[in-house]
Structure 1
Amino acid sequence: MSSARMSEWTRCSSELLAKLISQFCTENLLQPVDNRLDLGPVSYTFAATRGAFGSWRVAPDSVRRTTAGILGNDESEVATDPVQFLVDAADVLGLDGSTVAGYVAELASTLAADVRMASTAVPRSELLDRHHSRLEGHLTGHPLLVANKGRLGFSADDSLRYAPEARTPLRLVWLAVRRGLAEFRGTPDLSEHSVVGRELGPDALEAFRGQLVDPASYVWLPCHPWQLDHVVRTQWARELANGEIVVLGEGPDDYLPTQSIRTMVNISQPLRYQVKLPLKILNTSVYRGIPEHCTLAAPMITQWLRGLWYRDEILGRLGTELLGEVASVTVRHPQLSSAPGIPYQWTETLGCIWRDPLDPRLHPNETAWALAAVLHTTPEGPLVEALIDKSGAAPREWISHLLSALLRPLLHLMHHYGITVNPHGENLAVVCGPEGLPARIVIKDLVDDINISTTPILARGPEPDSHTRVLPRKPWPILRQYLVDALLLGVLNPLADLLEETNLLDPETFWALTRGEIDLYTQTHPEYAGRLAATALTAETFTQYPLNAYRLTLGYTDLATRPPIPSTGRIPNPLSAVEPLPPLRPW
């Protein structure tokens, strides 16, 4: 390994170790005393600061590992290895051997991906001009999950070919699946033939039809090439042999994966649909299949939400966009789907969801980027600094506009309709106007992340799943938690830290502007006083749901369902005591 490559590896490894210690301490998995962790025969010391919500920020170059030397003296050295730290901490964390090994594999995969990204990083100025579909491959992943690129199931070659940071276009393979085994569903305005025809075009459509004796007796759907090779050709070998599944061939368009890996954006024909496909890999805590209830319900949920959306004056005025999941194909395994207790990774292997594209929603001279972009850092500095500079606005003004664009529609959805989405950095996109200021947001990933209040809400009308429940019902404090965990903790808190580190905006001002948005909504909508009291976004504390502890607690045993994340106490809320600052954008 060259000295430059080794230096890059050491830097990325040191940063991952600092993130590991930071998050484990934030989640109270480890409890340092005077910035020191005693792990039996080994101890670690580090420099750290505390952020909002009880979070820790460990300085990457400050970590040292101390062990007892053979002569009884302590031996201390600079520590950069997250794998060694996890092994050292395993007993204190109460981890068994299989959990240690599984998490080490995820850490190692994440580190390798981080190094690949560092070695192919482009200047910050170039990222500003990237189309949103091509920017995705430069973003560094979940800010709180340490092993955020675990991807267990991918080989090294697979990662080089199919991971977002590979930035390599791929073509989807189309399958024909016998009706009865497969089922198409779409919104009322879409037929099966219109979706397939739109996605393939006349030439590919005709070529594929020529391979089938009776094309109408099959449902057609795209499949990820990795899934075809690793799952379909093995798990579905009988159906391939007897003609119930036919491999038609590659589609005509190039796609790029988003940060979620399994969602593909068409870069040949940007007006065609995005496609969400199952991948039988373990990544960010769960296997990335698509549950049957999601494919079946997606168009129905989209149609229901569209009805609310298009009638809503506030969402219309805010310009908030909804990328509907407009069509789907469900393929049930003929044996496993009806057998009890089958781990979900084996029953979610075939199917797809087609989602509206983003580009047609943009007005002239507007730009869009995934919300996660505000947390991205480059050797020249954070991307958010360049976004602010490009607009010509002061940092406080730009951030105030960002908070307005994010919070107003999300607060309205939650309190007017009793609906919450999962507003993390992948699921929201920010649209900037011609002047470069954040103006509005785009919401996606609906059916798997929509929750509604257990309290009936007249404004949302009858839910579309009254016969077969797919929309989780949650009490107000739990409904609130999606906004708290995904947006406040998952995006805004690390953004506040980043702005402080670069002297763009101090945390008190940041949280005061955030509180100002909540107070403005409260003052503007006194009719929701009871609901606002129940969500209590300015309460002294919130419930803690530790994402990293979830994986360590579950281990790597196959499970029939995705279990919920257990709560582990309370965390302080920075919005509780801060003096609000009025938003710069009027309501």
Structure 2
Amino acid sequence: MTLTTQTTTDTQTTTDAAQITAEGSAGPTGRDAWLRFRPADPALDAEYVHRWLTDPGAHHWQMGHLSLEQVRDYLEGIAADDAQDAWLGEESLDAVPGEEPGPADPTRRPLVYVETYDPARIVLADVHHVEPGDRGMHLLTAPAPADRTRRRHGLTSAVMRAVVAHCRALGAHRIVVEPDVENHAVRRKNREVGFEELRAVELPDKRAMLSVLGPRTRPEPNVELDETLRPDSEAPHLRPEHMVQAQRHLVAKALAEFSHEKLITPVPDESRAQAASHQSAIPDGDTGGIRAWRLEIPGASVHRFRARRLRLDHWVIEEESILRHDPVEGHQLPLDAQELVVELQDRLGIPDALLGTYLEEVSSTLSSAAYKHQRGGPSAAQLARGRRDLDAAADFQQTEAAMTEGHPCFVATNGRIGFSLDDLRAYAPESGGRFRYLWLAARRAHARLELSAGRSEAQHWEDELGTEALSRLHARLDALGLDPTEYALLPVHPWQFQHRIAVSFAPDIARRDLVVLGEGPGAWQPQQSIRTAFDVEHPGRSYIKTALSIQNMGFLRGLSPAYMRATPAINDWVATEVRTDARLAALGFDVLREHASIGYTGDAYHRASSSSDQQKMLAALWRESPFARLGEQRGQPMGQDDRAGSGERLMTMAALLHRDARGASVAAALIGGSGLEAHRWLAEYLRAYLLPIIHCLEVHELAFMPHGENIILRLRDARVTGVFMKDIGEEAAVIGPRDLDAEISRMRHVIDDDEAAQLIFTDVFGGVLRHLAGILHTDGVLDESTFWATVGAVVAEQEEAGEAEDVRRRRRLDLRVRRYAQSCLNRLQLRNTRQMVDLSDASGSLIYSGELENPIGR
């Protein structure tokens, strides 16, 4: 490609773009330098740009309503902004005899308007992980002639290639574009010249497809590419560069977590110790210095790596340091998580009959990680800062989709056996996609809608569907000659309908015990808990959680109608306990009630005497939106019009353990943005998260499952002000002999004080805080000694508050024991990857391996 840059004045630069040299030319008439770019002149060019913007073909620009004067003002604004530039591309009239010349040059005709911009400062500042040399680009071509005989085949493609050449000449390392997701014509042209579509992103005026043309990608000359013939077009995330990163990360996690659970025992590698020792930045006398380690698997491989070994036997491995060698020949082998599992099968204790299932879950986890690597995401700083240009709900959901880690303890976290490639793109939380629920009508003799106390069915449907949508669904029953009063409405995930309901419940549909009504309202975005979705069009409406019968992390993700029946009553009881507690209110702690549920039991599976997975295929629940709760607490609604930064933000707690593509952590970025010392930020977070969990155990004998996906943080100015706890119906438990109505008595799981304290040690210390401590320690934000000293100080606050509380404490948990039993989560999944825990006896299903020294012990 030949690029010639000419400086015509001190302030004006023009670029001639000749697309091909020896093998032909890129212009549609075969002439070099056929298209030249100059800075747009508001006085001279506003008329052209105005006429092009008001053409119907430019509707995606959303500027067709502007007057000529407004377009001139717009161009003047760009000229005054050092973050963006406007250009006019002029075609040589030698290439198109008979065309009218432009005002700036009588030998050339304006053909294309281009904007280039710094994506780190405008348009993509909150969504794109910018690299040095990134340049954004917008393009608008002159309208095609009304006379079809004058239209030139291949002109738009040639213009696209010329614009790319212009951006390269301006110094662009990568070119970034963000066309409307519905602008399929432009997206096709972008792909034609080599742009790679990464992901859909929310911008203030549109939902855009973020796409990047990398530094080594060059546009093809005059080639209409068939997408079906493009290499990797079906699965671009499965290219080697993405899978290599996924393999390295998962091998590091496997080595770390299997070592933590004492399934494997790496030993110091003296041959590399000296090389690693100079890299340690840990203060003298502290733990966690970098050391070289070796794991030898006889007859299979040797893994060498550098790592810090922190308190709670937490391993922080330097991923780039991992090397795998043949133990006999000594040559280097590629890192391979599946091979590592096969080589360690005996040590891991995986039954032969389940090895294939576990390997498939590992492969799916690798595929998901490669997909996340390929599509990129916002930086840790962007996530910590939040969206300044969008409503609070869009900001919340951007973070939800950006998470890459999954569960911090489990190795195989994204099994999703049953999902296809299209399903990954449509329904996985990392896709950030939207879908619509399919609605069924279930005959009331076989289905019952359960509601929270004081809530009517009419009120429920008004709040969750709206009058118009409800009437539309009822009209479909009327059209079939069916009485809507004889049916209850039931939302179904589209994947579940296609793969399970339409097949496994075919007789029920045929006899119209189930009636398919079609899609309902809303645009639903999958959450990290993959069965749950958030309505991005109506943020105040409830989440919907439905059965999704895929194998994932040791369970088939069904939903039991029997469990659903008591869910609203359980949530009412829990909400009353929490919301009438003054201390919990002062700590900013609240729950999101699952206030409605429905399940279908008219099938043959429920008439069988034995239980089966098929009995958990058709049920749903509605959970309060955190935006509805914030509104109630403020005494006013909070919805789409609330801007991020105007008050509190919401963020999944999983984000505190998230690192972006460059390894930067959200937790460190939040601390940096808060203006607080790290230990003070941590103490505020612990008061909002840890203290309420301890308080609920001690005062209410109420236990939750407080991992990162189940907690939503409330943030103000990057500081944690409170939390919402969710997933109550299936996972909350009463751990003492409290009086409970028969309807909710299944919540009772009586345990002693030591086991109650173990819930904190396992779920909070082991499941969350040891990982956060490792991140902050490694990043040099807060050393682990100060981290755990802060945890101890906050726990002491609870002990002191307990003495002053005007509430009888039913428990007094001793969280200062010197050592406690180590509960091992991966061992559960490795023992039985299809059902790792018996939900009827969760405590009895646990596996322990020795003890850990309590980092806040006496």
Q: Does 1:42 align with 2:300?
A: yes
For 1:156 and 1:257, how far apart are their aligned partners in 2?
16
User: Hey, what does 1:475 align to over in structure 2?
Assistant: 752
Of 55, 60, 67, 2:314 maps to 55
The alpha-carbon distance between structure 1 residues 536 and 216, as it changes in their structure 2 partners (threshold 3 A), is same
Q: Does 1:361 align with 2:629?
A: yes
Q: Does 1:569 align with 2:849?
A: yes
- 1:57 aligned partner, one-letter code: V
User: Hey, what does 1:585 align to over in structure 2?
Assistant: none
- 2:661 aligned partner, one-letter code: P
For 2:347 and 2:759, how far apart are their aligned partners in 1?
30
User: Hey, what does 1:399 align to over in structure 2?
Assistant: 682
User: Hey, what does 1:129 align to over in structure 2?
Assistant: 386
- 1:330 aligned partner, one-letter code: G
The alpha-carbon distance between structure 1 residues 68 and 567, as it changes in their structure 2 partners (threshold 3 A), is closer
For 1:10 and 1:474, how far apart are their aligned partners in 2?
46
Give SS of 1:279's match: coil
TM-score of the superposition, structure 1-length normalised? 0.91
Q: Does 1:549 align with 2:827?
A: yes
CA contact (8 A) 1:286 1:562 kept: no
Query: Number of matched residues?
Result: 567
For 2:588 and 2:547, how far apart are their aligned partners in 1?
31
Give SS of 1:346's match: helix
Tell me by how many angstroms 1:222 deviates: 0.8
Q: Which moved more, 1:394-403 or 1:244-253?
A: 394-403
Tell me by how many angstroms 1:269 deviates: 0.5
User: Hey, what does 1:459 align to over in structure 2?
Assistant: none
Give SS of 1:544's match: strand
The alpha-carbon distance between structure 1 residues 536 and 337, as it changes in their structure 2 partners (threshold 3 A), is farther
CA contact (8 A) 2:566 2:744 kept: no
Tell me by how many angstroms 1:398 deviates: 1.4
Query: What per-residue deviation string (whole Å, max 9, x for no partner) do you get for residues 163-207 of structure 1?
Result: 001110111111100012111110122122321232222222111
- 1:374 aligned partner, one-letter code: L
Tell me by how many angstroms 1:557 deviates: 7.8
For 1:208 and 1:295, how far apart are their aligned partners in 2?
23
For 2:238 and 2:835, how far apart are their aligned partners in 1?
39
User: Hey, what does 1:489 align to over in structure 2?
Assistant: 766
Tell me by how many angstroms 1:533 deviates: 7.9
For 2:579 and 2:810, how far apart are their aligned partners in 1?
24
User: Hey, what does 1:65 align to over in structure 2?
Assistant: 324
Query: What per-residue deviation string (whole Å, max 9, x for no partner) do you get for residues 488-539 of structure 1?
Result: 2111110100001110000011111111111111122138999798632221
For 1:3 and 1:370, how far apart are their aligned partners in 2?
26
Q: What pairs with 1:92-491 in structure 2 (closer than 5 Å)?
A: 92-124=347-379, 125-127=381-383, 128-130=385-387, 131-140=395-404, 141-212=406-477, 213-332=482-601, 334-343=603-612, 345-362=613-630, 365-380=647-662, 381-433=664-716, 435-456=717-738, 462-465=739-742, 468-491=745-768
CA contact (8 A) 2:311 2:855 kept: no
Query: What per-residue deviation string (whole Å, max 9, x for no partner) do you get for residues 279-334 of structure 1?
Result: 00111211111123431111101211222223211112222121111011022253
Q: Which moved more, 1:353-362 or 1:58-67?
A: 58-67
The alpha-carbon distance between structure 1 residues 42 and 510, as it changes in their structure 2 partners (threshold 3 A), is same
- 2:555 aligned partner, one-letter code: V
For 1:441 and 1:558, how far apart are their aligned partners in 2?
29
The alpha-carbon distance between structure 1 residues 171 and 537, as it changes in their structure 2 partners (threshold 3 A), is same
Gaps of 5+ in 2: 1-231, 269-292, 388-394, 635-645
TM-score of the superposition, structure 2-length normalised? 0.63
For 1:558 and 1:235, how far apart are their aligned partners in 2?
25
Deviating runs (4+, > 6 A) in structure 1? Answer: 1-4, 527-533, 557-563
Give SS of 1:170's match: coil
Of 787, 798, 813, 1:535 maps to 813
CA contact (8 A) 2:361 2:416 kept: yes
Q: Does 1:80 align with 2:326?
A: no
Q: Which moved more, 1:241-250 or 1:299-308?
A: 299-308
For 1:560 and 1:315, how far apart are their aligned partners in 2?
31
Give SS of 2:708's match: coil
CA contact (8 A) 2:558 2:617 kept: yes
For 1:558 and 1:146, how far apart are their aligned partners in 2?
14
Q: CA RMSD in A?
A: 2.5
CA contact (8 A) 1:258 1:264 kept: yes
CA contact (8 A) 1:290 1:348 kept: yes
Tell me by how many angstroms 1:155 deviates: 1.5
CA contact (8 A) 2:701 2:810 kept: no
CA contact (8 A) 2:302 2:327 kept: no
For 1:110 and 1:257, how far apart are their aligned partners in 2?
17
Query: What per-residue deviation string (whole Å, max 9, x for no partner) do you get for residues 201-253 of structure 1?
Result: 22221111112220011110111000011111011100100111011111110
- 2:296 aligned partner, one-letter code: D
- 2:438 aligned partner, one-letter code: V
User: Hey, what does 2:641 align to over in structure 1?
Assistant: none
The alpha-carbon distance between structure 1 residues 555 and 123, as it changes in their structure 2 partners (threshold 3 A), is closer
User: Hey, what does 2:134 align to over in structure 1?
Assistant: none
The alpha-carbon distance between structure 1 residues 535 and 291, as it changes in their structure 2 partners (threshold 3 A), is farther
Gaps of 5+ in 1: 457-461, 579-587
CA contact (8 A) 1:420 1:483 kept: no
The alpha-carbon distance between structure 1 residues 561 and 405, as it changes in their structure 2 partners (threshold 3 A), is closer
User: Hey, what does 1:30 align to over in structure 2?
Assistant: 264
User: Hey, what does 1:584 align to over in structure 2?
Assistant: none
The alpha-carbon distance between structure 1 residues 471 and 267, as it changes in their structure 2 partners (threshold 3 A), is farther
- 2:515 aligned partner, one-letter code: V
CA contact (8 A) 1:98 1:555 kept: no
Larger Rg: 2
For 2:579 and 2:346, how far apart are their aligned partners in 1?
55
Of 252, 262, 268, 1:18 maps to 252
For 1:96 and 1:453, how far apart are their aligned partners in 2?
33
CA contact (8 A) 2:295 2:302 kept: yes
Q: Which moved more, 1:148-157 or 1:60-69?
A: 60-69
Q: Does 1:6 align with 2:240?
A: yes
For 2:750 and 2:508, how far apart are their aligned partners in 1?
38
CA contact (8 A) 2:561 2:598 kept: no
Give SS of 1:272's match: coil
The alpha-carbon distance between structure 1 residues 554 and 401, as it changes in their structure 2 partners (threshold 3 A), is same
For 2:648 and 2:452, how far apart are their aligned partners in 1?
28
Identity, in percent, stands at: 28
Tell me by how many angstroms 1:467 deviates: 7.4
